[in-house]
Chain A
Amino acid sequence: MEPSEHLFRRESGRMVAALTRIFGVHNLALAEDVVQEAFCRAAEVWKFRGVPDNPAAWLMATAKNCALDALRRERTARTFAPELGRLVESEWTLAPAVHELFGPNEIKDDLLRMMFSCCSPRLPEEAQVALVLHILCGFSVDEIAAAFVSSHAAVEKRIARAKKVLARSGRLFDVRATAEFSARLPAVHTALYLLFNEGYHGASAESAVRGDLCREAMRLAALLLEHPLGATPTTLALAALMSLNAARLPARIDTDGRLSTLFDQDRSLWDPTLAREGLALLERSASGDEVSGYHLEAAIAAVHAEARRAEDTDWPKIVALYDVLLRIHPSPIVALNRAVAVAQCEGPERGLEEIGAIDQRERLARYPFYAAALGELELRLGRRDDARRHFEDALALARNPAERRFLDRRRAACA
């Protein structure tokens, strides 16, 4: 049989997480080496004999055997996780202990434990995201560098530094400690949100990479929802937001590799299943009295999802949602999006007024879609020269070829 796409990458997180628990977080590098060894061993056999029926279980069993070998080889030179304790010293106790640590219930929390450990307040947010991608999602340094349009050296350094912090932290996060779990949860939400957005809006032009990032973020959010302490209304709202936006992903880049805006996307390409899932998650997220920014962003995405044509969009509702979002999370980008929605309801003139009134507008100076929004509204007012200048400014700030092609086309529309 054919192994499923990205099987190794997907299993990697679970395997590294399980081995790190057994070896201790200070032996993170050893855990990664052993997982890599397990992959190579499995692949060597499978390329001759074919892939077995349950490859994930085989990979885990191979990892367990490789872990046992490593424990035997290293037991005099290293200390391992405290829960393994002295069991590691004797052959009589080692194998049964490791066997138990690989039990299904133990394995289940490993990914979550690692996810929370990666989102340590001791790490900057971008390092948390890189670490989640690297350890939990099995992305290589090159794959992360491609996704973030960053250099191999820069990503490598960021990850190495973050791993050092993690390895020195002494222990993995305890997912059974209720208070600590709830306290760390917002940081985990942020990391998953950033991961998703990197895929959705991010700089990497290659749509395959971007879709992968979105899928990984959704997979980890789903994992969070399976945990009783993780399934909060805010997590549900975040998952809803991801599903609703991911539903539009197939239409975001058109057949010529150009970015396509909400206004001119081919909505028949939207994924109806994801949209339905997103709406259902959003409904469930309304069960408590928490209203987070994710709730509002998801609600806005839901308004778009429900409009069959761009002109059917309920813009007044979107403006109202942005008003609330702006109160919870004041930010010039949110204000800019709100201004664009106002322009849809009340005309381009009003939109320009709103943009002019944005608090801390100077922070948008490097954001290409700020200049692009000005260009769009000027163009609708028929002021072509002004519009062209704005699109030229936007072009100079474009972060990737898809954005550049899109803005270039908008500039050409001003002629």
Chain B
Amino acid sequence: MSDFLYLYRGGEDGRTPERVQQTMQKWMTWMKDLAAKGHVKDQGQPLERHGKLVSGRQKAVTDGPFAEVKDVIGGYTLIQARDLEQAVELSKGCPIFEVDGAVEVRPVRTLSM
């Protein structure tokens, strides 16, 4: 098993109380299912949509967001899968796709002897 990071990008939540709750429950169901199959190493955290960017030799500080709304990272989860292919397959159950978001699947690099 290898580790992979899911980065959730974009995806607007529903604009009504009922929709927000439904979306949340779909996420919980999906996450619970992944965990039950032993794929969740760290369920992760949501991230605020704003922040600061520190960059350059001058360590210039600028305000976020750093990308278009649809590309802002809204949270992350650390999962375990056989290989990248399986990690990608597992990500397809994420409810973020229903609201035009995306999941970036990144293998965690390890050094093996």
Contact = CB atoms under 8 A, between A and B. Distances in A.
A48 B31 contact: yes
Contacts of B46: 44-45, 47-48
Interface stretch (A7-15, A74-82, A172-180, A243-251): A7-15
Interface string B30-41: 010000000000
Tell which of B19, B23, B31, B75 has the most Cβ of chain A within 10 Å: B19
B55 interface: no
B18 A46 contact: no
Given A46-B28, A47-B27, A47-B31, A39 B44 contact: no
Nearest to A12: B17
Given A43-B13, A46-B28, A47-B46, A9 B75 contact: no
A262 interface: no
A326 B58 CA distance: 85
Interface string A214-242: 00000000000000000000000000000
B74 interface: yes
B45 interface: yes
A3 interface: yes
A292 interface: no
Contacts of A307: none
Interface in A1-28: 2-3, 6-9, 11-12
Contacts of B27: 47-48
Interface in A132-152: 138-140, 142-143
A7 B22 CA distance: 10
A396 interface: no
Interface of B: 13, 15-21, 23-25, 27-28, 31, 43-46, 74-75, 77
